[in-house]
Chains A and B, each alone.
Chain A
Amino acid sequence: MADITVVLPSVLQPLAGGQSVLTAPAGGAVTVGALLDAVTGDYPVLARRLRDETGTLRRYVNIYVNGEEIRRLKGLETEVAAGQEVLIIQSVAGG
């Protein structure tokens, strides 16, 4: 059973106990939303940095699956296959 890995930006790593990569075991494809539920379950502050309390992905948080930003796919319903890598990257914004 291949893991799915989630790569965190350095600024969020302290909220995951210093880890740069979180992994979730996957028997098959899972949605990004379910994947986030799984990997942030032990890190509620990290979870709130990524999604607000309605579950909506924060506007300037970008998540890439296979190099594609999920807003161009099916958002949090985008499926991730076992063995794939998910990147969380803050968008270039602000001044």
Chain B
Amino acid sequence: MGTMANAESYILAIGTKKGLWLAHSTDRKEWSLNGPHFLMSEIPSIGIDTRGDSPRIMVGVRSEHWGPTVAHSDDLGATWTEPEQGAISFPEDTEAALERVWQIYPDAESRPGVVWAGCEPISVWKSTDGGEHFELNRGLWDHPHRSEWGAGYGGAAAHSIVVDPSGEKVHIAMSTGGVYRSLDGGTSWEARNKGISAYFMPDPNPEFGQCVHKIAADAAVDGRLYAQNHHGVYRTDDDGENWESIAEGLPADFGFVMLTHPRRSGTAWVVPLKADGERIPPDGRLAVHRTDDAGRSWKRLETGLPDHEYNSVLRDAASVDTAEPVGVYFGTRGGAVYASADEGESFTEVVSHLPDVLCVRAAVVSDAVVPAASVPA
């Protein structure tokens, strides 16, 4: 039994347009599935906090009828708790109302209990109690650029949050507005978009207004981040002071996903789509692309993926885990979810025919915490 208690399991949370499904695996190839949780509500954001004794799953939930909320589970989905007053609620003086929670980001191991959230309308929030109550970031809310931020096709939201190990440097991305950086832990914010194209604006190189779809931090190089833009794939080596294109070698520079390796510098994944006006995989062939040299070259990865696919992969519908080798996961708007146990070299289908996949998050957990009912026979 001692070895069993130490064995690792993998949890994959799949947020869709009509509810949440939870998948469990011991080998990242065979998956058992339970759900739906929150049937008929969309789940646009998931955070799995593995810093405590047992993993906490936090989800942004949004019902067309009954509005948005945040719920969490400390027993892998057996029960869910929703704080009575709402985990995220705009203060009265803002005269704003929460539309959708786009991002739930557990902070570093060294800051237990700290969880960030990115929301629509464009706002960033921080919790210090494990995601049960969040405070509005006033520096961003009161930013003088706010009146000029726009809405992307999916709504106006802060959708990416990246906090460096010190906790002082915070990068966020919003659609549309672009990348903003704080060097004081989130107290003040400055636009950092030099080099990122906003081809859809009269001035294609504005200070802000870009439609950055996703940013992710390099595992080890301080100051290095990667961005998937609304046309354009970029890297910065100086905390966003300058962005340079790393799109060469990709079949298209449009897409939503940007993932980075949790430990190895230079490794990132994207899922290219043909174009803004044709949001399908290039040539109808779905493929993940990985760089291991910080974007100088890309490797096409499609083993195990279908021969044709005309659905897109949304910005948070992709994730990595922290195992060795790293697992890569993504889902499509056609309701298929794929998992790779070898950094994308090969994929297996976790499930198909779910509603549109909006968000996936994966985590490595101890077998000891997995409810017996969800362990395959």
Where the two chains meet, the residues of A that have a C-beta atom closer than 8 Å to any C-beta of B are 12, 44-45, 48-50, 52-54, 56, 58, 60-61, 90-91, 93-94
Contacts and interface: CB of A to CB of B under 8 A. Distances in A.
B65 A53 contact: no
Contact of A48 (B40, B64, B86, B95): B86
Nearest to A54: B97
A91 B89 CA distance: 24
Nearest to B18: A94
Given A52-B98, A56-B97, 17 more contacts: A44-B85, A45-B84, A45-B86, A48-B67, A48-B69, A48-B89, A49-B66, A53-B97, A54-B90, A54-B95, A54-B96, A58-B67, A60-B65, A61-B65, A93-B64, A93-B65, A94-B40
A90 B89 contact: no
A84 B319 CA distance: 53
Interface of B: 40, 63-67, 69, 82, 84-86, 89-90, 92, 95-98
B149 to A, nearest CB: 20
B89 A53 contact: yes
Contacts of A45: 69, 82, 84, 86
Given A44-B85, A45-B84, A48-B86, A58 B65 contact: yes
Contacts of B40: 94
B354 to A, nearest CB: 16
A61 B66 contact: yes
A41 to B, nearest CB: 12
A12 to B, nearest CB: 8
Nearest to A91: B65
Given A48-B86, A53-B86, A53-B90, A94 B64 contact: yes
Contacts of A12: 66
Nearest to B67: A58
Contacts of B95: 54
Contacts of A58: 65-67
B86 A60 contact: no
B94 to A, nearest CB: 9
Contacts of A56: 97
